Amino acid sequence: MPRSTTPAADLFAEPDSLRPLAERMRPRGLDEIVGQRRLVGEDKALRRALEAGKIHSMVLWGPPGCGKTTLALLVARYADAEFRAISAVLSGLPDVRKALAEAEVHFAQGRRTVLFVDEVHRFNKTQQDAFLPHIERGIIIFIGATTENPSFELNSALLSRCRVHVMEPVSVSDIVAALKRALMDTERGLGELQLQVSDESLDSIAQAADGDVRRALTLLEIAGELAENRCIDDSTLAQVLADRTRRFDKMGEQFYDQISALHKSVRSSDPDAAVYWLCRMLDGGVDPLYLARRMTRMAVEDVGLAEPRAWRMALDAWDTYERLGSPEGELGLAQLVIWLAIAPKSNAAYVAYNKARAAVRDGGTLEVPMHLRNAPTKLMKGLGYGKGYQYDHDAEGGVALDQQCLPDALEGSVFYEPVERGLEVQLREKLLALREARRQARGNS
């Protein structure tokens, strides 16, 4: 984003024919904003504050093209303030200091400055801290825009001085309304071209924009340039929408949201949702081997001993992808995720493991019972190592029921409790019978 220091009203000057359509059609008032009714709809708190000129520092969190920059410009306009924009992608600490120094000059002259920081999450802690004293003294109205979760990407000191406003992807119907406005607007839009386009075509453009108004207007502008006889028909749209991509950030908020959705869909035994989220992540460019590793974890953690074959199938699908590559190997991953979703579930082994770890952590260095210790020397045998050990194969039923294997301090502890699903139904029956037999044997000994 280009940096500027200028009254906000000047940024809504007469349209420049060289500017892209999306820039020319940028809303000049709150009534022109499409979507975001929860924030700036009639009688909403933020709208009332803007219209009353009561402006606060804020962080705008939302996907690309949802109106973060536009809202920042309107804040400055409604506040009758200077507008200064910097991009965290292009700027460093010297740029921040320069912007703040300019804001101090305007403040001394009795005029406020709205300092808009695009992609603010890309600034490090030191750069973010530079804004704090100027926000506290009222020298700047700070507006940060981010596509990432502020809880993770912005430091707590900055967040404590700002209100976080969550902005949502713009709906298809709202994007269509923005496209129609651009087609009718003869001053800033494409009205003079008198383009012919059906509602179905506008809907296709809005769908392809994937919640991004700026992208939709760009697609419409390209379609208008390619249209023959001023008609945007199916053949025109086929050229414009040939490369449709979905929003995705390989290591950002959407990445973690979608892998969470995949894992939880498997856990909820919903194969349709599971294969959908798998395809969404593959479409977004996630490494298929990462997905194979995560699904192997699901097989171990969530399917567990209710269906032990899932573990083997996960490793086979992983191996299949490594051998076949893309796209053939992705079918193996799809079959795996469907199988994992349908398979019976048990986290009993996972719970048992965590209970045992906690017992190890909290119990200290507990001694191995003497009868279980190895006794390779006469000295150790003389000290009682291995004394009283019962060789289970020689016992009736193959189990020495009265033999204790846990340390004395943990005698009677239960870590593994099978569920009544899948193979663990049989394991549960056997284990309950063994535990009852042990209880009786020890009670009689």
Domain ranges of the chain: 5-166, 172-240, 253-342, 366-444
Task: Give the residue among 271, 263, 316, 265 at the shortest CA–CA distance from 291.
Answer: 263
Q: 201 vs 29, 228, 237, CA distance in Å?
A: 28, 15, 7
pLDDT at residue number 1: 39
Q: Sort 175 into a burial class: Cβ within 10 Å, 0-12 / 13-18 / 19+.
A: buried
Which H or E element spans position 60? strand 58-61
Q: Are 77 and 261 in contact (CB under 8 A)?
A: no
Around Cβ 406, how many Cβ atoms within 10 Å? 15
Q: Long-range pairs for 189-197 at CB < 8 Å and ≥24 separation?
A: 189/21, 189/24, 189/25, 190/21, 190/220, 190/221, 190/224, 193/224, 193/230, 194/230, 195/224, 195/227, 195/230, 195/231, 195/232, 196/230, 196/231, 196/232, 197/223, 197/231, 197/232
Please state whether beta strands 140-146 and 58-61 pair in parallel, antiparallel, or not at all (unpaired).
parallel
Residues 6+ apart with CB under 8 A from 102: 5, 84, 113
Q: Which phi and psi (to 5°) does residue 194 adopt?
A: 50, 50
Q: Name the phi and psi angles at 165, rounded to 5.
A: -110, 120
Residue-wise burial string across 320-355, b where 16 or more C-beta atoms lie within 10 A, e elsewhere:
bbeeeeeeebbebbbebbbbbbebbbbbbbeebeee
What is the predicted pLDDT for the residue at 245? Answer: 58
| Rounded-to-integer distance, Cα 304 and Cα 216, Å | 46
Rounded to whole angstroms, the maximal C-alpha distance in the chain is 104
- Angular region, 422: left φ>0, alpha ψ -120 to 50, beta rest: left
Listed in sequence order, the DSSP H helices in 80-121 are: 93-108
Structure tokens at 234: 């199916």
pLDDT at 68: 93
Q: Which fold has domain 172-240?
A: Helicase, Ruva Protein; domain 3 (1.10.8)
Give dist(CA 8, CA 62) in Å, integer.
Answer: 22
Composition of the chain by helix, strand, coil, percent to 5: 55, 10, 35
3-state secondary structure (DSSP) of residue 350? helix
Beta-carbon contacts of 40 under 8 Å, excluding residues fewer than 6 positions away, are 30, 33, 46, 47, 50, 71
Give just the sign of the alpha carbon dihedral 305, 311, 313, 314. Answer: positive
Which residues sit opposite 145 in a β-bridge? 60
In the Cβ-directed half-sphere of 159, how many Cα atoms lie within 13 Å? Answer: 14
End-to-end CA distance of the chain, in Å? 81
Q: What are 152's two structure tokens?
A: 């993770």
Please tell me the class of the 366-444 domain. mainly alpha
In this prediction, residue 2 carries a pLDDT of 39
How far is Cα 155 from Cα 169, in angstroms, rounded to an integer?
25
Class of domain 253-342: mainly alpha
What pLDDT tens digit does each residue of the chain (445 aa) get?
Answer: 334 455 554 555 544 667 899 999 999 888 889 888 889 988 888 999 888 888 899 999 988 888 999 999 999 998 889 999 999 988 888 889 999 999 999 999 999 999 999 999 999 888 899 999 999 999 999 999 998 889 888 999 999 999 999 998 899 999 999 999 999 999 899 999 899 999 999 999 998 888 899 999 999 999 998 888 889 988 888 888 876 655 555 555 678 888 999 999 999 999 999 999 999 899 888 899 999 999 999 999 999 999 999 999 999 999 999 999 988 999 999 999 999 999 999 999 999 999 999 999 998 889 999 998 998 898 988 899 999 999 989 888 898 888 888 998 998 899 999 989 898 899 899 989 888 888 888 776 5
* 36 phi/psi in degrees, rounded to 5: 55, 35
Sign (positive or negative) of CA dihedral 213, 215, 220, 224? positive
CATH topology of domain 5-166: Rossmann fold (3.40.50)
Phi, psi of 358 (to 5 degrees): -65, -40
Nearest Cα to Cα of residue 66 among 255, 252, 247: 247
